[in-house]
Structure 1
Amino acid sequence: MPGCCEDLQDLEQRVQRNAAELGQEAFWEQELRREQAREREGQARLQALSAATAEHAARLQALDAQACALEAKLRLAAEAPGPPSPTASATERLRQDLAAQERQSVEVQGSLALVSRALEAAEHALQDLMPPARGKSLPGAPQNPALVSSLSPEVAPMRQNWR
């Protein structure tokens, strides 16, 4: 009977170890699901910020183009011979339009700077969410740490100009 008792105790200890391991496995599976959800949220936020950045950049380019056109009209109006009164009022109107365009451009640049800072914060947060490389990646985790820079090809060249 002593051999049976020892075998029984060994089996009980093995059952307890297996139960503990199963509990740990369930915990880590739950942690993995939470991390994957946080990563998806971070990627969605990053994509939204990238879209907003692209929209602001396009608007800024349009405003710059309008400002250039207004400057060209001003130069033509200043160089054109003729009675001073109609040209002067047209020139003044163009100057006012140009000033308004410049104000809008400054506002858009400010918005773009805010979006850029938010984008950098989101990139940093997303990098913090990525698990460190341990030889074996987790299922569903991004395989490429440069994922952030590859989300929107328009964003990378624009970000270089902002810095």
Structure 2
Amino acid sequence: MSRRQKKTAKMVTGMMGLCIIVYIAGPPVYWHLNESIAHSLRSSCPPCVCDCSSQPLLSIPEGLNNHSFLDCMKHDLEVSEESERSFTEMVAQELKLREAQAQEDEWRADRALLDAKKAASQYQKEADKCSMGMETCEEAREKAEAALDEQKRMSFMWELRARQRGWKDIAVNSDVL
């Protein structure tokens, strides 16, 4: 293997290693950054209404009582509790709506199931009637077949006796009929 091929193989191996690292570590890092950004955007603190660009952040002159920057950093409990209550109420209302929808869907499914059971019962009754009719027809066919066999046997026996006593078979002319 030449020196150039070795160098290319090392680069390809390095790139593959880098891709594997990105493949393994990429999604957790992405989700962590995504949550951090989303959390910073959901801040409950209202935007500061002050012009602090002319003042340094740490040195506030004694005559100027500009605490709005520091106030923004404090957690406003009343606003937070109120927004939590309204959020809780909205979630509770959403849950009630979903529960009502689920109950309505369950009622519809129960009704459909009941209708399906009724239809299945009716079809089963019809199938039972049909089966009984088929059994009756089959029994009648078997009886008729047995009677026909008996009639054939009797006819053969009477014909045999008649031939023994001299009866001859006369061809019937189709014009006579």
TM-score by length of 2: 0.45
Higher relative contact order (CA 8 A, sep 6+): 1
Higher helix fraction: Structure 1 or Structure 2? Answer: 1
